[in-house]
Amino acid sequence: MPKQFRARISSLEPTPREVFFNRRKFLSTVSMGIAAASSQFCRASQLGEDERLKPPIQRPDVFPATRNAGYALPEGMRADLTPRVTAASYNNFYEFLPGGAGPVWKYAGDFKVDPWKVEVDGQCNNRMTLDLDDIFAFPHEERVYHFRCVERWAMNVPWSGFPLSKLIEKADPKPSAKFVRFTTARKPNQMPGLRETSYYPWPYQEALRIDEAMNELTMAVTGVYGEPLLKQHGAPLRIIAPWKYGYKNPKSIVRIEFLSKQPKTFWMIQPHEYGFLSNINPNIPHPRWSQARSYWVGTDQWFPTPIFNGYGEYVAGLYPDEPRTPQEPLRSGQVAR
Ligand code: MTE
């Protein structure tokens, strides 16, 4: 991890992550000694290396999906893919591993993603309950996108799935639908991070404006690197909106809701740090670090952060007032964009 890395959480994380995990490791070692080999963390530590890259679902009829070469990586950007194992080893998924990115895969052993249901409801004419067959029935394609976490690590990843607009069209939103909210799985018996972090507003929810959700870049993602999504990447269904910070890309979705009013989202509990729009913008510093530069995940190689992550040709028109000159960091009490 580069020296410059600083934890996402400040005041909200009562237990620093190192302490949290050392304590867990200590407790699980003790409990193993006593006999309770059923502890999540005991079992987690026994996960074999092969678990890290093993898709939890098999769909040979869908994967690998044909790559859509129409979506090139942003110009001037390094063009090679991030190694699959690197992307699968350093993930953000607080339900399993709170406090920042890390080896989520080690803690996802108990997570069950098949069967799965996604409720589609709210302000739409065609409410639906989708199962895995319904989700995989959408015509799939692969797109290589540049991805950027608010913590500053970045990667180039081939995601498979379909434009979210296809699902939205099927649901037939009413004119009153102005926002789309995504609710993600909350399964404390399968997600060890949930059990330790009652101070967070679970379940993890994110939302987009309907025009953002309908944008051609926004994907409903079911696969990565030519195979079904790994648990640590958000199996079986997540969102990728590549011009927004990673936290606007919710994982393991169980509900998609059309709303008339802008909802509160998970990270807005720290409103001066994480706004609703959260477009990637080098001019808007995080209150505790600059966003002007990014680094390739797993390396110490830094590069300038492009505005909208390099996808301005698709999305700049949605945000005529996006700041184009360096801004002052916000203070507590202010509200981020
Ligand atoms: N979705 C859920 N349900 N829970 C999370 O903690 N973290 C977000 C996002 N989606 C998160 C989530 C953050 S902060 C990032 S950077 C991306 O997932 C990381 O995606 P990746 O681990 O597949 O690279």
For 81-121, write each residue's pLDDT tens digit: 999 999 999 999 999 999 999 999 999 999 999 999 999 99
How high is the pLDDT of residue 327? 97
Could you tell me the distance, in angstroms and rounded to a whole number, from the CA of residue 175 to the centre of ligand 1? Answer: 30
CA of 94 to the centre of ligand 1 (A): 8
Query: How far is ligand 1, taken at its centre, from the CA of residue 239, in Å?
Result: 10
Smallest CA separation from ligand 1 atom 15, residue: 246
CATH classification number, 17-318, choose in 3.40.50.1370, 3.90.420.10, 3.40.50.720, 3.40.30.10: 3.90.420.10
**Tens digit of each residue's pLDDT (9 = 90 or more) over 302-315:** 999 999 999 999 99
Share the mean pLDDT of the chain: 89
CA-nearest residue for atom 8, ligand 1, is 247
Among 167, 178, 254, residue whose Cα is nearest residue 219: 167
Q: Residue 20 pLDDT > 50, yes or no?
A: no
Average pLDDT over residues 244-266: 98
Instruction: Please state, in angstroms and rounded to a whole number, the distance separating the CA atoms of residues 165 and 86.
Output: 30
Confidence class for position 48, pLDDT limits 50, 70, 90: low
Say whether pTM exceeds 0.85: yes
Hey, where are the domains in the chain? 17-318
> How many A from CA of 149 to the centre of ligand 1?
8
Would the CB of 149 count as within 6 Å of ligand 1? yes
Q: Measured between alpha carbons, how far is 174 from 67 in angstroms, rounded to an integer?
A: 33
Percent of the chain's residues with pLDDT above 70: 85
Residue 31 pLDDT: 35
* Protein residue with least CA distance to atom 22, ligand 1: 91
Percent helix / strand / coil, the chain, rounded to 5: 25, 25, 50
Q: What number does the ligand 1 atom closest to the CA of 93 have?
A: 6
Residue 98: count of CB within 10 angstroms of its CB: 23
For residue 133, pLDDT beyond 90: yes
Separation of CA 266 and ligand 1 centre (Å): 11
| Cα 70 to Cα 4: distance, rounded to the nearest angstrom | 35
Which one of 12, 85, 89, 92 would you pick to mutate in the ligand 1 pocket, going by the greatest count of ligand atoms within 8 A of its CB?
92
The answer on pLDDT for 6 being more than 60 is no
